[in-house]
Structure 1
Amino acid sequence: MTSSPSGNTLLLQRQLKELRKHPVEGFSAGLKDETNLYHWEIMIIGPADSLYEGGFLRAELVFPPEYPLLPPTLKFLTQMWHPNVYSDGRLCISILHAPGTDEWGYEDPGERWLPVHSVESILVSVISLLSADVPDLNSPANVDAAKQVREDFAGYKKKVRRLVRQSAEEAFD
């Protein structure tokens, strides 16, 4: 299976058209610049009954030229405090890890990126991550957030809720 720029462009155009035609509850997606199909803007609405409820979480999704053979990267532009989000906003979840075997043995190859995944499946995974009652602490991207979850869960929740309120205020500025 090879990928060609024109094939990648057609796939991204099709996925964008599908999301515009049939929006999925919980997020919206569009191009950051109408001339660049490889750079998307994402808005995730904080899932109901989660710490993120009421939040408007801005992110960007950047696709490599090898897409769909390689995964895009998702980076939150909204300040986040979560064990699976690096301090620079990059999201660390299995579905966005390159295909193949995990050198540290945390993930099975089937949990990692597969070319059948789509923007919709990525964003549904992100919403699922944000909906979890307790974040996954197995291999944290943000060690400080993971430590706070373990040692001071009430403080962790308070910090997340403060950032969620801030995201809602910024969304309407």
Structure 2
Amino acid sequence: MSAPIQSALLLRKQLKELTKHPVEGFSAGLVENDNIYEVEWEIIILGPPDTLYEGGFFKARMTFPKEYPLMPPTLKFITEMWHPNVYPNGDVCISILHPPGEDKYGYEDAGERWMPVHTVETILLSVISMLSSPNDESPANIEAAKEWREDYPAFKKRVQRLVRRSAETF
């Protein structure tokens, strides 16, 4: 059996599991496309309780490479997001989505990076955790990190606007 077919079967199994046993904080579904080598999921992440993002409905797209689970998927917010660990274009930057092995910059341990044991569930739980506690030590969005550190009230106000907008457009 080819790697892309094995990858697709594994992802279908994970989706079936998430459908049978939903996890609080997100929902996931398959995006239909004709490219057998690229599987995409549409994700809705609920803003975690007791965070600035509470009450928000954030749409994201998770794209799995044909080498999955040996290589990580990418996760990109479709809904506008203001967060130190989300690039301005919506790409999420967390350790477990970085390719396996040693970090050439020496910032992450290999054990913090992608491993084939990760599932859609563990990825999304990491993203929810990221929303709860940003890592401003290695920001993907420099401006958001700077505002988080130096003008928290402005950061909070901006996020609250995004949360409101996400709930209105959901």
- The CA RMSD measured in Å over matched residues stands at 1.5
* Contact 2:31–2:39 (Cα < 8 Å) also in 1: no
User: Counterpart of 2:13?
Assistant: 14
Task: Quote the Cα distance in structure 1 between the aligned partners of 2:136 and 2:103.
Answer: 17
What do the CA deviations read for 1:23-64 (whole angstroms, capped 9, x no partner)? 101100001117667100000011110100000000000000
The residue type paired with residue 45 of structure 1 is: L
* Contact 2:97–2:114 (Cα < 8 Å) also in 1: yes
Task: Quote the Cα distance in structure 1 between the aligned partners of 2:75 and 2:153.
Answer: 28
TM-score normalised per structure 2:
0.95
Deviation of 1:138 (Å): 1.2
Task: Quote the Cα distance in structure 2 between the aligned partners of 1:119 and 1:90.
Answer: 16
Task: Quote the Cα distance in structure 2 between the aligned partners of 1:161 and 1:97.
Answer: 29
Task: Give runs of ≥4 in structure 1 deviating > 3 Å.
Answer: 34-37
Matches within 5 A, 1:45-84: 45-84=46-85
SS of 1:6's equivalent in the other structure is helix
The residue type paired with residue 135 of structure 2 is: D
SS of 1:114's equivalent in the other structure is coil
* Contact 2:47–2:54 (Cα < 8 Å) also in 1: yes
What do the CA deviations read for 1:49-100 (whole angstroms, capped 9, x no partner)? 0100000000000000000000000000000000100010000000100001
User: Counterpart of 1:150?
Assistant: 149
Task: Quote the Cα distance in structure 2 between the aligned partners of 1:150 and 1:127.
Answer: 20
Unaligned runs of 5+ in 1: none
User: Counterpart of 2:120?
Assistant: 119
Unaligned runs of 5+ in 2: none
Task: Quote the Cα distance in structure 2 between the aligned partners of 1:6 and 1:58.
Answer: 27
Task: Quote the Cα distance in structure 1 between the aligned partners of 2:85 and 2:5.
Answer: 33
TM-score normalised per structure 1:
0.93
Deviation of 1:150 (Å): 1.4
Task: Quote the Cα distance in structure 2 between the aligned partners of 1:120 and 1:159.
Answer: 28
Identity %: 64
Task: Quote the Cα distance in structure 2 between the aligned partners of 1:63 and 1:34.
Answer: 13
